[in-house]
Structure 1
Amino acid sequence: MPMADYPEIMDELIAGLKTLPGIGRRSAERLALAMLKWPSDKLAHIGSLIQKLPESVTFCPVCGNLAAEGAICAVCADAGRRTSQICVVEDFSQIITIENSGSYRGLYHVLGGRLSPLENRSVADLTIEPLLRRLEAGAVKELILALSPDVEGRATAIYLAGLCEKLVEQITRPAQGLPAGADITYADSATISAALAGRVKL
């Protein structure tokens, strides 16, 4: 039930904002009320950016990271990256977390999730085949499986290690610093640095 009587369009905006991660009813209400005070050109600009988002931001055809439309991502385009390493993550948002740590200069591969029978997510739902093709090219020497250390993440890492063990010289995972069951997306830079520096063989 609404906390206040707003015009219908305000209620719809509040309901929409409430679907954003970490935004509850009260926060959504405050955001909507703040937007009412914005000048019309600012509202139009923000609206235009949101409308263009699906067309202007796509996924890198190489690794699955965020990229500008029709281009590879900044990481894959960087000639200074170590092409002998690929760090596998579940979601592109985790790349940002790792990059902010400043402790990794290799490449990435976005898996698109993890194996989870309870959520009906199987091998076919993940980008495993593209990963195997990248490894079969022979340039990658180390595969880092930076998956969440919960049951599904560990099961996915073990499955991938079995598939990839003959394609790379070394398969590792981040070690110390990441508590059991924690999501790597929310780890701080120091924790990520420690985990990557202390990675162990899988």
Structure 2
Amino acid sequence: MILFPKNFQKLINHFSDLPSIGPKQAERLVLYLFKQSREKTEDFAQDLHDFATEVRFCERCFHLAEEDNFCAICRNTKRDQTKICVTEDPLDVISIEKTNSYQGLYHVLGGNLSVMSPEEIKRLKIDELIARVKKEKTQEVIVATNPTTDGDTTALYLARTLKPLGVKVFRLGRGMPTGGDIEYADGITLSSALEGRKEM
């Protein structure tokens, strides 16, 4: 049974692939797009094309970038070049930046080291972090992985790996509840956690 035109259904399938979007909600979203003016729909399509072709991971820290393959933070020479804050994903960087409490650099791992799957270390950007610490003027690494079992496992691994390189390694301090997610923490909580960071 054919319920929707082919191109309509293709969009529904794409929207259904997004997190927290079910088939019914995807149908409503596509119907909403269909009801918009052609100009607005074409603008949306162009923005999606630009997103796919121009947004990439920063070659230095693996945050989101567009220009020159480096993110705006890495291009900012006024940032504290001696500090690197390590996060699990780019949304954590955004959350920390919104606090205006940190002026150093970042390094996005792309996930965490699962207790159940230690071999996943190969897919994380840990080797790249080690190379940066060796090459750059890094004096302090702040591990801002989520306060979960996997986040703590990742933090311990990073501390054991980085401390022999002569840098101080810190973990976010009080304020972040166990099992929480940095992405959803409020600014006051994150600022408190940054200020109260503890050396590992």
Q: What TM-score results when the alignment is normalised by the length of structure 2?
A: 0.90
Report whether the alignment pairs 1:188 with 2:186. yes
Residue 132 of structure 1: CA displacement?
A: 1.0
Distance in 2 (alpha carbons) for counterparts of 1:6 and 1:122: 41
Structure 2 equivalent of residue 173 of structure 1: 171
What's the offset of the Cα at 1:166?
2.4
**Aligned mates of 1:189, 1:30 — CA distance in 2:** 34
CA deviation vs aligned residue, 1:26-67 (integer Å, no higher than 9, x gap): 432332221122111211121122123232011111111111
Match of 2:137 among 136, 139, 158: 139
Give yes or no for contact 1:55–1:69 (8 Å, CA) kept in 2.
no
1:126 is aligned to 124
Tell me if structure 2 keeps the 8 A contact 1:114–1:121: no
**1:143·1:168 contact (CA, 8 Å) conserved in 2?**
no
Of stretches 45-54 and 35-44 in structure 1, the one that deviates more from structure 2 is: 45-54
Structure 2 residues without counterparts, runs of 5 or longer: none
Larger mean CA deviation between 14-23 and 98-107 belongs to 14-23
Structure 1: distance between partners of 2:140 and 2:105 = 10
- Judged with a 3 Å threshold, the aligned counterparts in structure 2 of structure 1 residues 168 and 86 are, in CA distance, closer, same or farther, namely farther
Instruction: Determine what percentage of the aligned residue pairs are the same residue.
Output: 38
TM-aligned CA deviation for residue 11 of structure 1 = 3.4
Instruction: Determine the structure 2 residue equivalent to 1:37.
Output: 35
CA offsets, 1:115-163, max 9 Å, x none?
1264575221111111111111351111000011111111111111001
| Shift in Å, 1:17 | 1.3
2:58 is matched by which residue type in structure 1? C
Instruction: State the match for 1:66 in structure 2.
Output: 64
Q: How big is the shift at 1:72? A: 1.1
Distance 1:44 1:121, change over 3 A: farther
Say whether residues 1:98 and 2:126 are aligned partners. no
Unaligned runs of 5+ in 1: none
Tell me how large the CA RMSD over aligned residues is: 2.1
How many corresponding residue pairs?
A: 200
CA contact (8 A) 2:115 2:153 kept: no
Q: Distance in 2 between matches of 1:96 and 1:111?
A: 14
Instruction: Give the Cα–Cα distance (whole angstroms) in 2 for the partners of residues 121 and 90 of structure 1.
Output: 17
Distance in 1, Cα, partners of 2:115 & 2:7: 40
